[in-house]
Amino acid sequence: MKQVKIINYFYGNIFSVAKAFEYFGCNVTIGNCPDEFKDADYIVLPGVGAFGEGIRRLQEQNLIMPALDFIKKGKPFLGICLGMQLLFTCSEEFGVHKGLNIIPGTVKRLIEQPGTKIPNIGWNSIDIPEGRDHAFWGDSILRGISPGKDMYFVHSYAPYPEKDKYWLSRTPYGSDWFCSSTRKDNVYGCQFHPEKSGKTGLKIIENFLKL
Amino acid sequence: MDKIRIIARLDIKGPNVIKGIRYDGLRVMGKPDEMAGIYYEQGADEVLYIDTVASLYERNNLTDIVRKAATHIFIPMTVGGGIRSVEDAQKLLHSGADKVAINTAAVKRPELITEIATALGSQAVVVSLQVKRMSGGKWEIYIDCGREKTGIDVLYWVKKVEDLGAGEILVTSVDMDGTGEGFETELIRKVVESVSIPVIASGGAKTPEDIGGVIRDAGVDAVAVASMLHYGRFTIAEIKEILGRNSIAAVRH
């Protein structure tokens, strides 16, 4: 049975994330004990709230080194929402805060425009980044997903990876785009909530479990 | 621009989904978990559970319903009925709900909106309105299943709840609910014009064209549908298809 560890470092709706992995027959443990990381096949870093607070709590609970060790072993790691943002170099949310720096890039506030709202709450499409084709998703967690499917977002900030290759998908916000999912080797992040994005969201979780 | 959401609304009484006309003559429609599962399969964008009698009896049986739903329904879930404190709301969010809907408790103690918004975020707070038409082109807020008058003017109240931190407003017209006579479009349009937060229209739809009409004429962000689904008149997939033909972009799963 696949062992999935959900890092519980922060208040939030972790229940639904756990249920989505259990749906695929995984043995899910939720907790903040670094020792448990060793037994995990997959680690999920969820999270809601502010970036600075998130990184502070990870530090306080001594969770950063075990997470980085897990990633170094090449095992699949998935950050969701704030958990995705924490993978990047830094964030501009309430001052500049350093992130885990696994993927080079900055987390910035969405730029409000006529017809858009912050926080950005609701369903929006995930699309293939400019200059790529569908094959770009072929060996990733987005394998088999048609571009333009809507996913469920709840956020005010979004990551902007430095290099094009770390933009796995992009999502429109007004006349701009933000990075809605990222990939670097075995590390993935989704700004949307796959556990709340219906069948397509489940497919992404299923794909992650095939890595 | 966010896509239009079609929300499956399940009014709950005890162990059953019920539906009446103008909140009266309630009939049992089925079991919450089974029905929510069907609507999820049809492509619902959200499930809305409202415990219709919770505020009358001061109890809350929705935690079990939402916990069970969270094992097989992977879309946002909003839960309302009998929520009187931040703890009540937190418990539901820890059980798989994404938002809570409050009506009676918000009227009795408006600070509750701010308390929940501060603790859990505005996105988690839906203020639910039960509205009846008055003479002179005005509308009044009702509580306790559309039984109790409050004397509160709807357009005053919606601005107030937005200021207090509500993330969304659900407008149910008690006059139209369950009738299939169409939405109270003028009321809903005035609510949309009064606030900048998303507005969900509920009550009175008979056909997908009615839904398209309230989206176009009132500018709502979402529509909550009950009878049309419960009586099997249309599936959510059919509603979305007809909206699409009328150039209204619904969520694509």
Contact A16 B5 (CB under 8 A): no
Choose from A28, A121, A197 for mutation: most chain B CBs within 10 A: A121
Separation in Å, CA of B234 to nearest CA in chain A: 20
Q: Cα(B150)–Cα(A37) distance, rounded to whole angstroms?
A: 55
Range of the domain at A76: 3-209
Indicate the number of domains in chain A: 1
Segment (H or E) for B161: helix B154-164
What is the per-residue pLDDT for A114? 87
- In this complex, the residue of A16, A121, A198 whose CB is nearest that of residue B123 is A121
Encode pLDDT of A88-142 as tens digits.
Answer: 999 999 999 999 999 999 999 999 898 888 889 899 999 999 999 999 999 999 9
Q: Is the CB of residue B39 less than 8 Å from the CB of residue B229?
A: yes
Convert B55-114 into a string of H (helix), E (strand) and C (coil).
HHHCCCCHHHHHHHHCCCCCCCEEEECCCCCHHHHHHHHCCCCCEEEECHHHHHCCHHHH
Q: Cα(A80)–Cα(A45) distance, rounded to whole angstroms?
A: 6
Contact A150 B252 (CB under 8 A): yes
> What are phi and psi for residue A171, nearest 5 degrees?
-135, 135
Contact B74 A154 (CB under 8 A): no
What is the per-residue pLDDT for B61? 80
What are the chain B neighbours of A202 within 8 Å (beta carbons)? 74
What is the per-residue pLDDT for B181? 95
The number of beta carbons lying within 10 Å of the beta carbon of residue A64 is: 16
Could you give the 3-state DSSP secondary structure of residue A108? strand
What is the per-residue pLDDT for A12? 67
Q: Cα(A40)–Cα(B15) distance, rounded to whole angstroms?
A: 39
- For chain B, list the domains and their CATH numbers: 5-245 (3.20.20.70)
Residue whose tokens read 């709301």: B89
Mean pLDDT, range A48-77, rounded to an integer:
94
Contact A19 B71 (CB under 8 A): yes
Chain A: which residues have CB within 8 Å of chain B?
13, 15-16, 19-20, 22-23, 48, 115-117, 119, 121-125, 148-150, 152, 154, 195-202
Q: Cα(B234)–Cα(B241) distance, rounded to whole angstroms?
A: 11
Query: Percentages helix, strand, coil for chain A, rounded to the nearest 5?
Result: 30, 35, 40
Encode pLDDT of B130-168 as tens digits.
Answer: 999 999 999 999 998 888 999 999 999 999 999 999 999
What is the per-residue pLDDT for B239? 98
What CATH number has the domain bearing residue A161?
3.40.50.880
* Global model pTM greater than 0.90: yes
Choose from A14, A16, A19 for mutation: most chain B CBs within 10 A: A16
Sequence letter at residue A28: V
User: What are B225's two structure tokens?
Assistant: 């549908």
The number of beta carbons lying within 10 Å of the beta carbon of residue A88 is: 27
What is the per-residue pLDDT for A29? 95
Q: What percent of chain B has pLDDT over 90?
A: 89
pLDDT tier at B188 (50, 70, 90 boundaries)? very high
Encode pLDDT of A159-203 as tens digits.
Answer: 999 999 999 999 999 999 999 999 999 999 999 999 999 999 999
Q: For all residues of chain A together, what is the average pLDDT?
A: 95
Asked if residue B1 has pLDDT above 60, the reply is no
